[in-house]
Amino acid sequence: MTRAFALLFAALTVLAGASQARAEGADSRDIMGGGPNFFGGGASPIPRTTVNYAVDYSPGTIVVNTAERRLYLVLGNGQALRYGIGVGRDGFRWSGTHRITAKKEWPSWTPPSQMLARRPDLPRHMNGGIANPLGARAMYLGSTLYRIHGSNEPETIGQAVSSGCFRMTNDDVTDLYGRVSVGTTVIVKN
């Protein structure tokens, strides 16, 4: 009898937890794969949107505005797709024009020596995966140490927290990654 009561109590606890998770906005597809948080990036505090953006850049150009903490993918006809991004903190912001020289899915991460000098506690290398700070996708910018990459910390989007890279939610970086190719021009405005 005690064992049957314990099993009943356990079943009710699991059901109550599932109901609470649904009430808090959890999506069961996240557990099974394919839900909105599947990539671990969560929802961006700055939703991706199409905006009016009259510039003289060719469609397909990426424009990063670090002051706005936004990345624009020029669509043409006076429009762009706007994404929220995290940017370099004070002392790590930069500007210039580069091209995407490589694209990687679930990239591994080896912190550069400059970063290890500032943060000796960091791992020397991390394989790609959900816990990796580069997130689901990375687009490498010319000969620089910088990238446009994913993040599993959506709360940092719209903040100045990086060492010069531009971070996006994993959902947004996966979207951008599918829209651009190696050779895409990236203009960074500070």
Do the domain assignments include residue 160?
yes
Do the domain assignments include residue 40?
no
Do the domain assignments include residue 68?
yes
CATH number at residue 138: 2.40.440.10
β partners of residue 27: none
Averaged over 98-112, what is the pLDDT?
95
Do the domain assignments include residue 144?
yes
- Tokens 């150009």 correspond to 61
Averaged over 153-161, what is the pLDDT?
93
pLDDT at 189: 96
Tell me which residues are annotated as active site: 149, 165
Range of the domain at 147: 49-189
pLDDT at 4: 44
Higher pLDDT, 1 or 147: 147
End-to-end CA gap in the chain: 70
Higher pLDDT, 169 or 112: 169
E-strand stretches of 95-156:
96-105, 137-141, 147-149
In whole angstroms, what is the distance from residue 112 CA to residue 124 CA?
9
Do the domain assignments include residue 77?
yes
Do the domain assignments include residue 111?
yes
Do the domain assignments include residue 6?
no
Do the domain assignments include residue 124?
yes
Instruction: Fill in the amino acid letter for 53.
Output: Y
pLDDT at 73: 98
144, two tokens: 């620089």
Worst-scoring range by mean pLDDT, 8-17, 71-80, 138-147?
A: 8-17
Our count of domains for the chain comes to: 1
Tell me the residue length of the chain: 190
